[in-house]
Amino acid sequence: MIYSYSSITERQTEGNILKPFSALKFFKENKRKGLMTFIVLILSICAISLITVMINSIHESFDVYTQPLTKYSLVAGSTSDLYLNQSVVDKLKSDTDIERLIPCDTDGINTNFSIGGSAVVGTFANVSNLKYLLGKFNDVVKEGRLPKNNTDEIAVHQRIMLNKNWKLEQIVGNKVDSKEFLSGSYKIVGVLDGPAITFVGTQSNREKQYIKNGLDITKPIEYAVFAKPGKFDAVNKTLESINVNDATVSDFNTIITQSNDSFASINTTLIGVILAVTIILSISISSLMYLIYLQRSDEFGILLAMGYRKSFIYRLILKEILFLNIISWAIGFLLAYLLIYLLNYFVYNPQGSVLNFFSVNVFENTLCIPIVATIFSILPILSKMRKQDPITIIERRD
């Protein structure tokens, strides 16, 4: 081929001109066409991320609340009898797998760490046992001191303090705030820190209340059961074998079993929401994409006429849709991260709580949207493209 190369003009062209069919070219040059898909995807991915993180926070809160139960188990009187059955007490005392049995009483503080709120369990026992208990929990007194025997004092974990906006020396309980779970009134004398979010008080003072209410405090009401090292599961197995008419056992397994049903329904709802969003979204995006690519029939027809292979065009369409979805996913994900950061900063952290954004299921739940949307989009377009005849396009006179 002879061209007159003498007249070359080295006019510089703007931008990257060597890739007219790069994956982002079409949507970059036709921002309006991809905009709707882009926005819908970003918002959906952001919404799914937020829902997943919120539900994760319920799971995490549950883990936090049940953390003490990974160190000890509680055995209390049955629902029909406040006092513990003597045979149960004897059984526990004779169990060689048990390191220590602490006579105690438990109560709760209502918190709002997660959606719906929950109660944190606290233990009332004598001071020497409280020291042992906190040692087992790996919790320490960060500020102030432990409650003294025969006082209306409690030491509270710093995250509960933050969540309730309590201060050291403050008097708390349902006597000062009727909405509070904790019965009675107590002065906060210490702030705890450590993995177990809990609170502690002295039992003797609670006993006074029981006597006042006409209860026989010589009879055992509740025990905190600590297993010897390596015997935690064996002890829990023994506790779970106790007849429900004889005692109420609260151990980690029991709590997990009890909560499994509610978590199962939460998880099913989450999956349902994700499925519904994914399917509705994928169908909508697929329709939008189909329209966009239908408008590009001439372009693809002429490429086929010029000798481009169908596989090239399929790859181009796949790349374009995939890139749009991936970019939308990344932006949606970042937006969700930003929102979680703001929620943590303004709402959760001041309550002593935190929404954890980075978990595998946030990736999984959001990734299924671009994947399914790509598949839903690509299939009808490719099916249409398969039947594409360039002659029909060339011969069209319009």
Which positions touch other proteins (CB under 8 A)?
1-5, 7-11, 13-14, 17-21, 25-26, 29-30, 298-299, 301-303, 305-309, 390-391, 393-395, 397
Q: Which is nearer to other proteins, 216 or 298 (CB)?
A: 298
116 versus 307: smaller Cβ distance to other proteins:
307
CA angle 53/54/59 to nearest 5° reads: 90
CB of 49 vs other proteins, minimal distance in Å:
32
Name the residue nearer to other proteins (CB basis): 197 or 303. 303
**Least spacing, CB of residue 377 vs other proteins, in Å:** 19
Least distance in Å: CB of 325 to other proteins? 20
Q: Which is nearer to other proteins, 233 or 298 (CB)?
A: 298
CA 70/CA 73 separation, integer angstroms: 8
Find the helix or strand (DSSP H, E) in which 191 lies: strand 186-193
Kindly state the smallest distance separating residue 346's Cβ from other proteins, in Å.
Answer: 43
Q: Which is nearer to other proteins, 309 or 315 (CB)?
A: 309
16: amino acid identity, one letter: N
* Least Å from the CB of residue 12 to other proteins: 9
Nearer to other proteins, 10 or 261 (CB): 10
Distance of closest approach, residue 289 Cβ to other proteins, in angstroms: 16
Question: Which of residues 306 and 360 has its CB atom nearest to other proteins in the complex?
Answer: 306
Q: How far is the CB of 379 from other proteins (least distance, A)?
A: 23
